[in-house]
Amino acid sequence: MDIRTVGVVGAGQMGNGIAHVMALAGYEVKLNDVSTEALDKALATIGRNMERQVSREKITRDEMDAAMARITTEAALETLGTCDLIIESATEREEIKQKIFDALLPHLAEHTILTSNTSSISITRLASRTDRPEKFMGFHFMNPVPVMQLVELIRGIATGKETFDACLAVVDRLGKTAASAEDFPAFIVNRILMPMINEAVYTLYEGVGNVRSIDRSMKLGANHPMGPLELADFIGLDTCLAIMNVLHDGLADTKYRPCPLLTKYVEAGWLGRKSGRGFYDYRGDEPVPTR
């Protein structure tokens, strides 16, 4: 199948990044969000990020202008129905994703492929609620999308080979690398990454080390580019907690029990960089550990 038009549902951090790389690769992109303010903010973010690429000579000014012209913002979800490929990139809550797919179904073209950028939720279960489980799969980008090279492609139990091959061709055209994952909770990257972050929070919770010493230990002792608590703040503590809950519920193993301190931070609204506070306080000139 020749994919030419891509619909992206959700204009947040992941959605605007997906729209960015799709437009640069030559796809016509329709970016949707329930908030017109979020759409305006997304376009501004994409423009700034592309300007940075121009300044670093990653792309030319003409390539940027052409890519920006390929992106249109849509407040009405049904306008995405004519797209060849739709990537849902809403918040990591299954009921919200299901509502989006339910709303899209009456407006979809027969050939449209539906995908989700979910980082942990069952693709098979999401697909089962649609009229096209064979044309449904997981299309999981890493954050930040324009920088990270990996895309996880996750087949549900009913996903057809043509659907997988079409999405693989898109990843190739983006200049990224695909990793094929089976449809088990959190797939590959987050199945490994999130328990490590959760264990770092337990290490903090139990007083083994403070925020700074834990992050410094993993950066200098394991050569990680970011410490696990710094990374959790970057991802969003609510997202980390949601993925740990999916792992715990889906695999029924106590080793995936979310740390109570992670739950407490989320309850406080301390979600990391996006809220101004998490394991670090970002409201000043320099991030300051909160514990």
Active site residue 190: yes
Give the per-residue pLDDT at 28. Answer: 98
pLDDT confidence of residue 235: 92
Among the listed residues 89, 117, 190, 198, the single catalytic one is: 190
Give residue 141's pLDDT: 97
Catalytic residue of the set 16, 117, 119, 122 = 119
Active site residue 119: yes
Please report which helix (H) or strand (E) contains residue 18, including its range: helix 13-24
pLDDT for 107: 97
Give the per-residue pLDDT at 32: 98
pLDDT of residue 104: 97
**275 part of the active site:** no
In the residue annotation, 94 being an active-site residue is answered as no
| Whole-angstrom distance, CA of residue 174 vs CA of residue 22 | 7
Tens place of pLDDT per residue across the chain (291 aa) = 789 999 999 999 999 999 999 999 999 999 999 999 999 999 999 999 999 999 999 999 999 999 999 999 999 999 999 999 999 999 889 999 999 999 999 999 999 999 999 999 999 999 999 999 999 999 999 999 999 999 999 999 999 999 999 999 999 999 999 999 999 999 999 999 999 999 999 999 999 999 999 999 999 999 999 999 999 999 999 999 999 999 999 999 999 999 999 999 999 999 999 999 999 999 999 999 999
DSSP codes of every residue in 260-290? HHHHHHHHTT--BGGGTBSSEE-SSSS-EE-
Q: Which of 16, 20, 140, 198 is catalytic?
A: 140
Contacts of range 167-174, beta carbons closer than 8 Å, 24 or more positions apart: 167/85, 167/113, 167/115, 167/137, 167/139, 169/3, 170/3, 170/6, 170/25, 170/27, 170/85, 173/25, 173/26, 174/21, 174/22, 174/25
**Residues 88, 92, 152, 230: which is the catalytic one?**
152
